[in-house]
Amino acid sequence: MNDMTLMDKTVETQNIKIAAKDVNVYYGDSHAIKDVNVEIEDNTVTAFIGPSGCGKSTFLRCLNRMNDTIDICRVKGDILLDGEDIYDKRVDPVQLRAKVGMVFQKPNPFPKSIYDNVAYGPRIHGLAKNKAELDEIVEKSLRRGAIWDEVKDRLDAPGTGLSGGQQQRLCIARAVATEPEVLLMDEPCSALDPIATAQVEELIDELRSQYSVVIVTHSMQQAARVSQKTAFFHLGNLVEFGPTGQIFTNPEDPRTESYITGRIG
Amino acid sequence: MPTFWLVALLIALSAAGFYGGRRRAIATAAGNVKDLHSLPSYYGYHVALAAFVPAIGALAIWLLAQPMFIENRVSGMIPAEAIPESSSIGLVMSDVRRVAEGLDLAVEQGLLTAREARNAVAGEQDLRALMGEVGVALGSKVRPEVLNAAQAYRNLSHTGRIAMTVVVALLALGGFAFAYARTHKDFRARNVVERAVLALLILAASLAILTTVGIVLSMLFETKNFFGLHSWTDFFFGSTWAPNFRGGSELSILPLLWGTLYISFIALLVAVPVGLFAAIYLSEYASGAVRAFAKPLLEILAGIPTIVYGLFALLTVGPALADLFGKGGLLGVEWMTGATSVLTAGLVMGIMLIPFVSSLSDDIINAVPQAMRDGSLGLGATKSETVRQVVMPAALPGIVGAVLLAASRAIGETMIVVMGAGAIAKFSANPLESMTTITTRIVSQLTGDTDFASPETLVAFALGLTLFVLTLGLNVLALYIVRKYREQYE
């Protein structure tokens, strides 16, 4: 699509939202992430690319401590969100996840109505004082998830009854409803058809104005289309990190070039 | 020829058929196995099956039908006046069978020649003493009618036996020859064997169903007899359970049903929360080590025989409750007179059902996709919020099914209530009183001296059938709910 114009895209702000320093992750005995240093900027879409099993999803899940739910997983090193270590003992992972929202690979709406799906986060965090406010949050979130027009007449219908692409946009709306500062997306389009993918990508680009978005993707075209910064992971190492245009047109590391041109992967 | 040898012969024939069929198939393909439609052993199986299956089927049917047929014929030979006053045709027939058997044994042991046995005349020899020698005890002297009938019995069984051997052998050889002749390299032996496998599986499945049907039918017949002797309005709508073997009993199911449902209700009140919370802990919170240790431990509870739970109720729980609520007890009240009560049985039965509820619920909770939990945790929900608001609603239909299955077990439970609940049938809302259930009354009506012509005994079948209908209904409902739930994630 518009791959080549990407280089000219300006990165408006330079605020560092998340800084990772010397992060190592172990699953039992296997060393999944090795000494990763990365700085993720605010109001930017950062893409993580790399072959399967390279650790990009694992690293993404470190950013909101979703790896805590896996018993054998250990994380070493510092990850700072707005300058504060998220692995500090005083940090409550539950609070952190409200700030760093997540959208998963497979759409996973709860077996509840569309309304209740979106209202779930605001309800558990007490974001709405009354029903009217909650209604407002739900509508705003669904609009931001670019799905309001499709579901506004059937908010009481079960979320599981929507099509795959609609479900994924519902999940994005659900994540947005808790008003996170960072939105993590783990291959959000891998279960979607091209039309739904295009809709979600368009949405990601819009979300950039308010959030810092980190997206893991297998599709290099997608990374090129939606992101401003790209990080290339290989075998647990962060091989290269830089502006998307540069990574795709003029990579410094030979491994990055091999991957982008399809020789490894 | 004894049946054993006949079966051995059939097996030998089908083994020969296997090798014969195999060899012939290879021969028709001129030794080139690749030209065969099926693998050589399929041709072997085909011939072996054709030789074995029809023959063994005929044998089985013959063995079942022959005694019935002979019994029918021989009992028609006994004149009505030959049946003593105090006896019945059934007793005379069993005499006939024993005399026939005794004669056969005597011939076998060389005490009589076959000819002597055939010509034996009542009164001429001391047949009773002779029978005693071969180990067949007779109650009285052999009467001529009985002896005649016994000879006819022997004749018929002898002929039947020969006919059976001939028919079975012919079927086996015929099947063998037919299959052997069909064996050719283009013959689709593999498909035929596949059909035979299908038939075997269908047979196995229908056996289970037929047994159920048989059980229900036998209960139905006896229940029908019961309602012939006792009014159904008293059974279903009466208010008293007072069986009296001298007659004039009041046999109403309602007090028993009340006791059953009350005890089951208390059992579920114990088992459902505890079992469910245990399942939630094990599937959502417990670490791998705890789970590996605690889950089998919890399931051991399910392996304890219910009679042991009954002892526990009788010796531990009952006295403990009596100490609390009884005369001079800790609470200073006098609500409980003995150790047996609805509460005793209900509590112990609840403990018995805990593993049942927990292991079924655990499976159902585990079946809720991890993506649901991730989605909720990713939004900043805590674990218990996730369980309460996402996992439980998703698993609820399945859990309801598990609870209904537990309920139907509670309703059918016998030993714990026999030992823990007492034996008094009454309507009372006080859980500290003794009550009784349908199952324990079935046991007590059928133990000891029973007369299968009195309503006091036959009521057991009516009770059993009602219980069966009740638990069947619950199971069907549970399965329906569980199945409906499954569709959501597939």
Q: What is each CA distance from B298 to B217, B351, B366, B410, in whole angstroms? A: 38, 11, 17, 18
Q: How many Å apart are CA B257 and CA B466, to the nearest integer?
A: 10
Biggest CA pair distance of chain B:
102
Yes or no: say if B147 and B118 are a contact pair by the CB < 8 Å rule.
Answer: no
Residue A122 sits at the chain B interface (C-beta within 8 Å): no
Q: How many Å apart are CA A236 and CA B424, to the nearest integer?
A: 73
In chain B, which residues have pLDDT < 70?
A: 1, 85-87, 121-126, 139, 450, 485-490
Segment 263-302 of chain B within 8 Å of chain A by CB: 287-288
The distance of A98 to chain B (nearest Cα, Å) reads 4
Q: What is each CA distance from A50 to A31, A161, A218, in whole angstroms? A: 17, 33, 7
Segment 248-267 of chain B within 8 Å of chain A by CB: none
Residue B283 has a CB neighbour count (10 Å cut-off) of: 22
Residue A101 sits at the chain B interface (C-beta within 8 Å): yes
Contacts of B153 (CB under 8 A, 6+ apart): B70, B74, B96, B97, B100
Name the residue among A209, A196, A144 with its Cα closest to residue A168: A196
Of A95, A104, A108, the CB nearest to B380: A95
Instruction: Name the amino acid, one letter, at A85.
Output: D
The distance of A121 to chain B (nearest Cα, Å) reads 6
Instruction: Name the amino acid, one letter, at B48.
Output: A
The distance of A244 to chain B (nearest Cα, Å) reads 27
* DSSP reduced 3-state for A50: coil
Residue B373 sits at the chain A interface (C-beta within 8 Å): yes
Instruction: List the structure tokens of B80.
Output: 């009505």
The distance of B276 to chain A (nearest Cα, Å) reads 20
Residues of A in contact with B390 (CB under 8 A): 110, 120
The distance of B380 to chain A (nearest Cα, Å) reads 4
Residue found under tokens 């993720």:
A40
Residue to mutate among B372, B374, B379, with most A CBs inside 10 A, is B379
Residues of B in contact with A164 (CB under 8 A): none
Provide the pLDDT for residue A160: 87
Distance of CA A197 to the CA centre of its chain: 15
Q: Is B332 left (phi over 0), alpha (psi -120 to 50) or beta?
A: left
The distance of B490 to chain A (nearest Cα, Å) reads 12
Residues of A in contact with B378 (CB under 8 A): 64, 66, 97, 101-104, 175
Could you tell me which residues are beta bridge partners of residue A34?
A: A237
Give the residue from chain B lying closest to A121, CA to CA: B379
Of B372, B389, B488, the CB nearest to A108: B372
Q: How many Å apart are CA A41 and CA B474, to the nearest integer?
A: 60
The answer to whether B380 contacts A98, with C-beta atoms less than 8 Å apart, is yes
Q: How many Å apart are CA B312 and CA B320, to the nearest integer?
A: 11
Give the relative orientation of helices A164-177 and A194-207 as an angle to the nearest 10 degrees: 20
Q: How many Å apart are CA A61 and CA A48, to the nearest integer?
A: 12
The answer to whether A120 contacts B374, with C-beta atoms less than 8 Å apart, is no
Residue B382 sits at the chain A interface (C-beta within 8 Å): yes
Residues of B in contact with A62 (CB under 8 A): none
DSSP run (H or E) holding A83:
none
Yes or no: say if B12 and B55 are a contact pair by the CB < 8 Å rule.
Answer: no
Q: What is each CA distance from B88 to A72, A128, A151, B141, B170, in whole angstroms? A: 79, 87, 82, 17, 41
Give the residue from chain A lying closest to B371, CA to CA: A108
Residue B371 sits at the chain A interface (C-beta within 8 Å): yes
User: Which of the 8 DSSP states describes residue A6?
Assistant: G
Yes or no: say if B40 and B69 are a contact pair by the CB < 8 Å rule.
Answer: no
Q: Is B171 left (phi over 0), alpha (psi -120 to 50) or beta?
A: alpha
Residues of B in contact with A94 (CB under 8 A): 380-382
The answer to whether A104 contacts B374, with C-beta atoms less than 8 Å apart, is yes
Residue found under tokens 């079966």:
B7
DSSP run (H or E) holding A187:
none
The three-state DSSP-derived secondary structure of chain B is CCHHHHHHHHHHHHHHHHHHHHHHHHHHCCCCHHHCCCCHHHHHHHHHHHHHHHHHHHHHHHHHHHHHHHHHHHHHHCCHHHCCCCCCHHHHHHHHHHHHHHHHHHHHCCCCCHHHHHHCCECCECHHHHHHHCCCCCCCCCCHHHHHHHHHHHHHHHHHHHHHHHHHHHHHHHHHHHHHHHCCCCCCHHHHHHHHHHHHHHHHHHHHHHHHHHHHHHHHHHHHHHHHHCCHHHHHHCCCEECCCCCCCEECCHHHHHHHHHHHHHHHHHHHHHHHHHHHHHHHHCCHHHHHHHHHHHHHHHHCCHHHHHHHHHHHHHHHHHHHHECCCCCCCCCECCCCCHHHHHHHHHHHHHHHHHHHHHHHHHHCCHHHHHHHHHCCCCHHHHHHHHHHHHHHHHHHHHHHHHHHHHHHCCHHHHHHCCCCCCCCCCCCCCCCCHHHHHHHHHCCCCCCCCHHHHHHHHHHHHHHHHHHHHHHHHHHHHHHHHHHHC
The distance of B388 to chain A (nearest Cα, Å) reads 12
Residue A49 has a CB neighbour count (10 Å cut-off) of: 29
Residues of A in contact with B374 (CB under 8 A): 66, 69, 102, 104, 108
In chain A, which residues have pLDDT < 70?
A: 1-14, 263-265
Residue A16 has a CB neighbour count (10 Å cut-off) of: 15
Yes or no: say if B387 and B284 are a contact pair by the CB < 8 Å rule.
Answer: yes
Contacts of B177 (CB under 8 A, 6+ apart): none
pTM over 0.80: no
Biggest CA pair distance of chain A:
57
Give the residue from chain B lying closest to A160, CA to CA: B488
Provide the pLDDT for residue A8: 46
Contacts of B283 (CB under 8 A, 6+ apart): B362, B365, B366
